[in-house]
Amino acid sequence: MQARRIGPFTVSPIGLGCMNLCHAYGTPPTEQDAERLLLAALDMGVTHFDTAALYGFGASESLVGRVLGPHRQRFTLASKCGMTHEAGDGTVAPGRVIDGSPESIRATCEGSLRRLKTDVIDLYYLHRWDKRVPIEDSVGALADLVRAGKVRTIGLSEVSAATLRRAHAVHPITALQTEYSLWTRNPELAVLQACRDLGVAFVAFSPLGRGYLADALPSWDDVQALPDKDIRRAMPRFGAEHFAGNLPLLAQYRALAAEAGCTPAQLALAWVLAQGDDIVPIPGTRSVAHLKDDLAAWDLQLPADVLQRAGELINTATVSGHRYAKQGRREVDTEDVAA
């Protein structure tokens, strides 16, 4: 499959999300295994790496900077601001903070540049829109970073079509990133079309349904075995009420992938890729073997009827549960698909 475009950058059809190398999903890999995975991705042709100040509270950026810094000219580097970690002071508990103020954006960028060991970030996203701050102000601060030569292009994450249009009127938005997969279709309500109207690339995170579409959790016992800090434990679709309804879909989906001669993960990625040449999925993984399996999807040519059947099997109407719990839903600005 041919390379894709994110604004001025030519990138591999599938990028690498770097969150779960140190954050959010179970026990992180060892430092050596994480380094091995990043270098393997580069050697296998990945040219788009996506991280954030939030991931591991700076650990992901530090890892990417240390390992990939010597190869900086070989890939497009994306990171994010606007959602960071607050250490706490004895009266305030530590935790993540959404802060889209210009002051926070500038400070976060300086920290990201140091950790990433670079003088410029190719694509810098506002990780979440801080609804206390007009989007125009946050984007204005990002635009200042572009003018200062610290950022080449800017993006937004988890925003609605209306917010995208407001932001784009202040400064051109290069990419919009949000969750998109067979089982999460929110972008189809309005954002995908808005991106196309404005010439904005769409970056799809969690294209494997947080492991569900990769057949990584084939039973309720597997879900129950997730570590306490795994973020999926708080997501409705992985709760007892909804997972029981989603499990039968997985069996049928697994059979469809076998019929097509590919793995479940490859079918999921092939479906996302087929939704438009302007879409770049960024699956994450801690396994070189899984990485190799994922990247094989970019050369996979599946019959249109297989992709159609996959979409008819797993979609908004058939999946049980919302993608986020109430807190997560309050934090995003995306158009909502009712569960």
- H or E element in which residue 123 lies: strand 121-126
Give the whole-angstrom CA distance, residue 119 versus residue 62.
14
Residue 5, C-beta contacts closer than 8 angstroms, at least 6 positions apart: 11, 201, 278
Listed residue (77, 132, 76, 134) closest to 109, CA to CA = 77
**Residue among 55, 124, 180, 324 flagged as catalytic:** 55
55 is catalytic: yes
Listed residue (147, 152, 146, 159) closest to 202, CA to CA = 159
Contact 51, 79 (CB under 8 A): yes
DSSP state of 7: T
Contact 226, 232 (CB under 8 A): yes
Q: Is 181 helix (H, G, I), strand (E, B) or coil?
A: strand
Instruction: Kindly list the catalytic residues.
Output: 55
